[in-house]
Chains A and B, each alone.
Chain A
């Protein structure tokens, strides 16, 4: 008689708001790591903000909390001296595209052999919903009371221009997209484990609290509005010559 638990027992209760996508992201990454046999042997480099809750949610492996925006370069330092260990970062959009834009681009340009997950909720969640580079045109935040001017920042064309081997954008807003997102995460993690290559995955995550929406409305907002500006999809050139 065998017992099979689908949910990883090591994944702790988390401290995010109701309806936040981070819980799903943590679970997906954890599941993939378990499938690849690195769930107890990895180093997670994180940033500041809502993703600090990940330190409690993911168990096993080593964790580092970095200054805002510096996670990819810190991960590169670790990877330089521990090349056989799986090293990945999870950063928010303010972390990755505002204060850490330099590090994000440099990590991609220099092909650091790490995996970067950027969680995009179109605002600064932890500090109470301020304008981020990814905030949509016209979206009202606490620092754009009349709606944001200008376009939201789209990382995927930048990553493609830099010629990274794998970049993708998924979302946790619907059942079908979560299934796709798991495939993206699997490919990104595989790329580091098997070929020591850089991979970048952006995940659109709802922020019901700061968008002032119910969890279901927030998911609908992503599927109806956000993906018009930031289209989903993957770009895999790792197999091309």
Chain B
């Protein structure tokens, strides 16, 4: 199972991930992080964990973890 977590403190609010997300699962959160940037949030219900945001994000906000059960 793949999980997506966001490192909000790294986000600089450039919005590139929002424009690229194929499922429109990302949006600005109306909250600011310590650096003063409005960070993004993910809608877990529509997100399909495709990894697009990971590829286009310049700041390493998105972390995908895969848990393999044996």
Contact = CB atoms under 8 A, between A and B. Distances in A.
A13 B58 contact: no
Contacts, number: 73
A207 to B, nearest CB: 12
A11 B60 contact: yes
A121 interface: no
Interface residues of B, number: 28
A162 to B, nearest CB: 32
Q: Which of B54, B58, B69 has the most CB of A within 10 A?
A: B58
Nearest to B59: A23
A19 B55 contact: no
Interface string B5-25: 000011011111001100000
A7 B60 contact: yes
B68 A19 contact: no
A18 B60 CA distance: 12
A1 B48 CA distance: 22
B67 A1 contact: yes
A60 B54 CA distance: 22
Given A13-B9, A18-B37, A19-B16, A175 B56 contact: yes
A179 B57 CA distance: 13
Interface string B34-70: 0001000000000000011011111110111111111
A23 B16 contact: no
Interface string A191-224: 0000000000000000010000011100100000
Interface of A: 1-7, 11, 13-14, 16-24, 27, 172, 175, 178-179, 208, 214-216, 219
